[in-house]
Amino acid sequence: MSEIQIWTTIFIVLSFGVYMTIAWRSRVRETEGFYVAGHGVPTIANGAAIGADWMSAASFISMAGLIAFLGYDGSIYLMGWTGGYVLLALLLAPYLRKWGKYTVPEFVGDRYSELVRTISAVAAIIVSFTYVVGQMNGGGIVFSRFLNVDITWGVIIAAVVIFVYAVLGGMKSITWTQVAQYTVLIIAYLIPAVAVAQTMTGIPIPQVSFGQILSGLNDLSVELGLEVFTDPFTSRPMLDIFLVTMALMIGTAGLPHVIIRFYTTKTVRGSRWSAFWALFFIALLYTTAPAVGAFTKFNLLQGVNGTSTDNLPAWVQNWAATGLVSVNENADVVNSVSNDPAAGADLTVNNDILVLASPEIAGLPAPIVGLVAAGGLAAAMSTAAGLLLVISSSVSHDLYFRYFRKTAGDHERLFAGRIAMALAIVVAVIAGINPPAFVAQVVAFAFGMAASSFFPAIVLGIFWKRCNAIGAAAGMIIGLGFTITYMLYTLEVFGLSAHDYILGISPEGIGAVGALVNAVVTVVVSLLTPAPSRHVTDMVESIRYPSPRRSQPSGAAE
């Protein structure tokens, strides 16, 4: 066993031990604790849990890799995901927390109708399954490289750990485990970033120092057949850049597994402060990611430029064993590098390995490499657990008990929720072993689906009293159906052939168009059909205002 494997094993065993201990101590026996942690999570802890839930394998593992190869255009992920979180925190979360209960389908069900609740539950399952596929695959990648375990077995091991702590304690266990996971992942992300920044520039602040290498990075990129790192719109047209950013942003504000986090606080004020702390915790990683991408790409290109294929750095051989790095057998010297296997470059590097490989590429010691591996697993599992809880609650709480077991007691509801989560994990493992694309792209698909289904229904449900059930149902079905159809049309999945993009719009960006379609259909149908009842409009009024509106003093101007 190599030194890297030893240190990786140590960090993974220690961190997994902490997660299991927390799960055992946080186990629950009632549905309120299982679904919303008893509404008793402190604000700072909830902020850290939201940060861990938010910073998935896509953020930790894949985002810096995308920035490394897309350069300026990779900023769509930074702008979309962070901007969307601000939108969620300010526009939706406090209102939904004031309303309370357990799930997003419950809100739209009370606001609109049972039909819309059912549509929302099905949409939540589709979105969450798509999202969780990327997390499972990210965990498999970590196990595959650092412990010499096949990706399939890596996905299974990660799933077993998630199963134990998610099924035991539900949201309560997941929340406190995510606090620990955030601690692990942010330390694992920042330590190598600071070390590389100090080594390369003499300034141990990545957010400040990475600007010093951009000129040299641009020159190296051109020399190895890549686009200039800082030039805009080199990999995507401007329209698609805008649409992908928008889809990620409004998709963020519609993600069920993030929204339910705000149900776990004690008060509405607590949900607002949770949003503040979460934004702070998220910013620590997201402001560092561009530097990690730039540093890693510079070290990668500098280390392989003009190098004989028989004398490449050790990290290339290590990652080649996973199938995520490949060397052109017909090349003698590396004169071109790509992240696209179809490009025929001398060296092909998968986006998803750059953060995990960055300590090796920079020549950092084995303990740091092992720490990064543990951080990658923490990021993947923290988000996967939240997604699986959404699937569990949608299947058991919003579908099964609404239609088949309305009189079930608390014990039966809790048991059914655990069974639903177990089945969801099995399906997620099967899909995670063979994902349709790299981690961040799969996650982007989920955001597009959330944008085209949940966002318009929730926003209009809170801020437009005239919006009715028929309009919301029509909008969600048409918006989500349009988005999924386009994704299937442009992707090579389920044995289907991929087709050219229409107007240059990628499947990651189509969710923004789907959201617009949803909103237009909802508004038009709502205006053509009867208005909601007085009971519904009163409910909207109670959600939007923190207290009963005061009557005007006698003689006051209206």
* pLDDT computed for residue 16 by the predictor: 83
- Segment 87-126, tens digit of pLDDT: 877 777 778 777 766 567 888 888 999 899 899 888 888 8
Residue 515 belongs to a domain? no
- State the total domains in the chain: 1
- The pLDDT mean for the chain works out to 83
* Interatomic CA distance for residues 306 and 515, integer angstroms: 47
How many helices (DSSP H) and strands (DSSP E) are in the chain? 25, 3
Helix 104-111 to helix 534-544 angle (10° resolution) is 130
CA dist., res. 486 & res. 513, Å (int): 10
- pLDDT at 474 > cutoff 80: yes
Q: What is the total residue count of the chain?
A: 558
Residue 182, domain extent: 3-26+38-296+363-436
CA distances in angstroms from 95 to 248, 461, 462, 515, listed in the order given:
21, 11, 8, 21
Listed ranges 86-95, 189-198, 222-231, 440-449; the one with the highest mean pLDDT: 189-198
pLDDT at 45 > cutoff 90: no
Q: Beta 347-349 vs 325-327: how paired, if at all?
A: antiparallel
- Decide if 258 is inside a domain: yes
256 falls within a domain: yes
Strand 347-349's sheet: what is its strand order?
Answer: 325-327, 347-349, 337-338
Average pLDDT over every residue of 202-213: 91
Does residue 397 fall inside a structural domain? yes
Spatial separation of the C-alpha atoms in residues 73 and 352, rounded to whole Å: 17
Within a domain: residue 483?
no
pLDDT digits (tens, 9 = 90+) for 115-164: 998 998 888 888 888 888 777 777 777 777 777 778 788 888 878 877 77
- How far does CA 89 lie from the centroid of its chain? 16
Count of CB atoms situated within 10 Å of the CB of 272: 17
Q: What is the CATH number of the domain that holds 239?
A: 1.20.1730.10
Could you give the CA distance from residue 260 to residue 391 in angstroms, rounded to a whole number?
A: 12
Looking at the domain assignment, is residue 279 inside a domain? yes
CA distance 307 to 132: 39
Q: Domain for residue 516, yes or no?
A: no
Summarised one tens digit per residue, pLDDT across range 372-430 is 988 888 887 777 777 777 777 777 767 777 777 777 776 777 777 778 878 888 887 88
Query: pTM (2 decimals)?
Result: 0.82
- Tell me how far apart the alpha carbons of residues 85 and 463 are, in angstroms, rounded to a whole number: 19
Q: Does residue 554 register a pLDDT over 50? A: no
CA-based diameter of the chain, in Å?
89
pLDDT digits 0-9 by tens, 317-357: 888 877 889 998 888 898 888 888 777 889 998 887 888 88
Q: Is 101 exposed, middle or buried (0-12, 13-18, 19+ CB in 10 A)?
A: middle
pLDDT band at 438 (very low <50, low <70, confident <90, very high): low
DSSP 313: -
Q: Using DSSP, state whether 34 is helix, strand or coil.
A: helix
State yes or no: pLDDT of 78 exceeds 60. yes
Q: Kindly report the CA angle at 17 between 181 and 411, in degrees rounded to 5?
A: 85
Residue 486 burial (C-beta neighbours within 10 Å; 0-12, 13-18, 19+): buried
**Three state DSSP letters for 420-434:** HHHHHHHHHHHHHHC
Query: Is the residue at 355 inside a domain?
Result: no
> For residues 39 and 171, what is the distance between their CA atoms, to the nearest angstrom?
10
